[in-house]
Amino acid sequence: MKTSALQPSNPEELNLEIVESREFSRTSKSNSSNYLVVKYSGAGNRFLCIDDRQGQWQLTPAAIQSMCQRGNCDGILVAKSSCIADIAMQIFNLDGGAALMCGNGLRCFKRFLATLGLRSPLYSVETGAGLRKVWEVGDLVAAEMGQPRYLLEKVQLNEEITIDLIDTGVPHAIVFVDDIEKAPLATFGPYIRHHPLFSPGGTNVTFVQMETPSTLSIRTFERGVEGETLACGTGACAAAVAAAKELSLDRFEMEVLVRSGQSLHISFDNQELVMTGPALPC
């Protein structure tokens, strides 16, 4: 692939042509290095991935917002050097703010590492939520999602809304519905996301329909995107944990259907959540 010539002082100088070509270069006074910007989709969750292992980027909220909007992405993943893992991953949401964890992003990040020439089948990744392992499973990518934490159970926010609050790296308010297509995401999503009970940071909101004891359909209103996304890995994990609680399961394997029409496989062995699914360049 031909590399586009660019010497930006910061990422706000990225243009759509560079995002679409997936590659650009930057020349410093001391050396010349290639800096990749690659777009990936994790089951419909779209990210720009940036190599900043040299620590030369200065990502401002305005730059993040601009890049996400022009690249039609939900967030940005930045590769950084790490002293405690093989590599570190920084996560930024569409609104320019940082996030501690993103499950689909972590799986996309594994594919991005191969683009950087890091082709080991398994890597440890430092995230804001702790160390996570990520590895290839055939054509799919699996990621450790940590130990889920039940923060609140069966809390009634008003006469119509009862939620469970589960932390799978980031908090998710889980709302069970009878018909996922009729889930009141446009109205209840923002209401729950900004409810005083979850201040000051707010929460993600995931609506869940239990299709069978091992199959769920979900829709997620994501904090930081401030709207519905086509997939949410931490939301899929939180939905599976909440469904398992309803079914009194200590261990489980579930298929979670996301808004893109794709599915994520979520398993739990009473210690560690693992999410497996597609991660492809787009």
Average pLDDT, the chain: 88
Same domain membership, residue 260 and residue 181 = yes
Residues with catalytic annotation? Answer: 102, 232
What was the pLDDT predicted at 37? 82
DSSP letter at 168 equals S
In a domain, 70, yes or no: yes
Q: Which tokens go with 230?
A: 């086509």
| Range from 50-64, 144-158, 175-189, 253-267 carrying the lowest mean pLDDT | 50-64
Tell which residue, 240, 247, 157, 234, has the closest CA to residue 193.
157
Residues 8 and 130 reside in one and the same domain: yes
- Burial of residue 161 (CB within 10 Å: 0-12, 13-18, 19+) is middle
Prior bond to 200 cis, omega within 30? yes
The residues near 4 (Cβ < 8 Å, ≥ 6 apart) are 17, 18, 21, 23, 24, 25
* Pairing, β 32-42 against β 75-80: unpaired
Percentage with pLDDT > 70 across the chain: 87
Task: Give domain status of residue 110, yes or no.
Answer: yes
- This prediction has a pTM of 0.87
Query: Which structural domain, as residue segments, surrounds residue 83?
Result: 4-136
* Residue 207 tokens, joined: 């609506």
Residue 227 in domain: yes
